[in-house]
Amino acid sequence: MSVAPSDAPPRRLRLEGIHRSRHALTVRYAVDDLRFSTSYWYAGVDLPRLEARYGAAFMEKVYFHIAAFEFNGAVTLRPRTVDLGPWKHLHTPAFEELWRTVARHAFAQWRYEHDLPDYTGPAFTSRPAGPGAGPVTTGGGREVLLFCGGGKDSLATLKLLRHGGVPHGTFVYSHSVYGTAGPQHALADRLIDHGAPEHRHRAWIQADFLDSPVARLYPELGVDGLAVAETPASVFAAVPLLLAHGYRHLVVGHERGANTANLVWRAAGEEVNHQWGKSRAAQLMLDAYLRAELVADAGYFSLLEPLHDAVIVGLLRDELHALPTAHSCNVRKPWCRRCAKCAYVWLTYLAYLPREAVEPIFGENLFDVEENQVWFRQMLGLDEHSPFECVGEIGEARLAFELCRRKGCTGRAVDLYTERVPRPDVAALADRYLRVDTAGTTIPEHVLRCVVPQMTAAAAAMRRSLGEL
């Protein structure tokens, strides 16, 4: 949706406060006279103890990065400058490059929806202060700290680690934008119960930015929607856990399809990718920065990077008892059944799993739901762009629809596919999406040895099942 340029005076984004207590960090920031705050509450992390171990100056640097990538979302209020306040001495060339890169790419969708091809984010009021202090080492011996969001990707990743014998802990954070914390953690715990983590770590994030009515009450700002860069922010939010518990790897379950853009925005001369924060480009950048600036002996990678969704769902074929514990909806957990994410998970589950295991989870035929028709059109490539959600490529959706058709699934969206989309070359799509591609991966070799045989077996099983349809 296009929004007319605002005649409001220049706006300044300012970091106003960072306060820590024993188990919590609170960040306060403002855009002119509009003030926002976010609190991070950590279980099993004693911040003063970390200051005693690593030094107050270094921990101030950690807090600063958590704050900086938290208030990064205020870019969607179109500030013209950003003032780091008392923390400007931590403004380094490397920090500015990363912060501005995240601001440009993570909010490309927001700029596209607001028709702002020339807005590249605010300019810093301070100048880079030099390279700054180097990273620390934890010397920790724990292997993997796994982000667990509670969806199918988390379930598949937990399986790979469990069957591969890779020692790991899980990290779950609740966020106030998704509702109250208790139900979020309860849902995640149900899923993790099917894994084998050695430790479970929790955090609670309470933030008032996304849920604020600022766009509605201040039309002069010229915005009609807000956004945040959740994945980069969560990486920095996990650093206190790395320091406190000595994990060697911070791991996510981001699939290969996250690298694909939703569209090419010709007015800006760039791609728009809703999932940029989950992409390999973002992963490599965040991994390099984490090692160079904060924790030298802790890396960041995605265990599902070699796989598309067809193989990821295939990994769950012998985890059907756990399938009802997975939840992927960002609107109303566990499933609203009316958003692009719910529609896509329904589609891929039906394509690759037994119908009797899938249909009770959703309780209705999502192919027939009126509100979902726009998402299915976009998934099939019949609209201007694919859905702005964490869903697969158009080719993945077309393959899944064809398999659903062959399995006898019915509904308005299946009729749309049958009438509007030429029959795909299933063999060619299978070659693209039913493979394990480890080329260029940053997954450590000893972890790859533990998980690739499972990935390869799942891919082969999916190929055999395609031959039966």
Closest CA to 9 of 84, 80, 71: 80
Q: 339-358 burial string, b = 16+ CB within 10 Å, else e?
A: bbbbbbbbbbbbbbbeeebb
Per-residue buried b or exposed e for 414-440, using 16+ beta carbons within 10 Å of the residue's own CB: bebbeeebeeeebeebbeebbbbeeee
> What is the DSSP track for 127-170?
PP--S----B-----EEEEEE--SSHHHHHHHHHHHHHT--EEE
Burial class of 91 by CB neighbour count within 10 A (0 to 12, 13 to 18, 19+): buried
Q: Does position 4 have pLDDT exceeding 50, yes or no?
A: no
Using CB atoms within 10 Å of the CB of residue 201, give its burial: 0 to 12 exposed, 13 to 18 middle, 19+ buried: buried
Contact between residue 304 and residue 312 where contact means Cβ atoms under 8 Å apart: yes
pLDDT value, residue 10: 59
Predicted confidence at residue 5, as pLDDT, reads 47
CA distance 395 to 430: 10
Q: How many helices (H) and strands (E) does the chain have?
A: 18, 12
pLDDT of 127: 95
Strand partners, 272: 263
pTM: 0.95
Residue 7 has pLDDT above 70, yes or no: no
Q: Nearest-5° angle of CA 215, CA 277, CA 282? A: 140
φ, ψ at 341 (rounded to 5°): -65, -45
| 100-143 pLDDT tens trace | 999 999 999 999 999 999 998 999 999 998 877 889 999 888 99
Give me the phi and psi of 23, to 5 degrees please.
-120, 10
How far is residue 266's CA from residue 13's CA, in Å, rounded to a whole number? Answer: 29
Mean pLDDT, residues 5-20: 80
Strands (E), 261-358: 263-265, 270-272, 299-302
Residue 442 one-letter amino acid: T
Q: How far from each other are the two terminal CA atoms of the chain, in whole angstroms?
A: 42
29, 74 Cβ separation under 8 angstroms: yes
Stretch 1-8: mean pLDDT, rounded?
47
pLDDT digits over 27-56, tens only? 999 999 999 999 999 999 999 999 999 999
Reported as a single tens digit per residue, the pLDDT across 388-440 is 999 999 999 999 999 999 999 999 999 999 999 999 999 999 999 999 999 98
8 or 369, greater pLDDT: 369
Pair 340, 389: CB distance under 8 Å: yes
Helical residues (DSSP H) of 290-440, grouped into ranges:
309-314, 340-352, 355-362, 373-379, 394-406, 412-420, 426-433
In a 3-state reduction of DSSP, which class is residue 47?
A: helix
Mean pLDDT of 364-389: 97
| Beta-carbon contacts of residue 80 (< 8 Å; ≥ 6 apart) | 10, 11, 12, 122, 123
Give every CB contact of residue 205 below 8 A, 6+ residues apart in sequence.
38, 39, 40, 41, 173, 174, 175, 176, 237
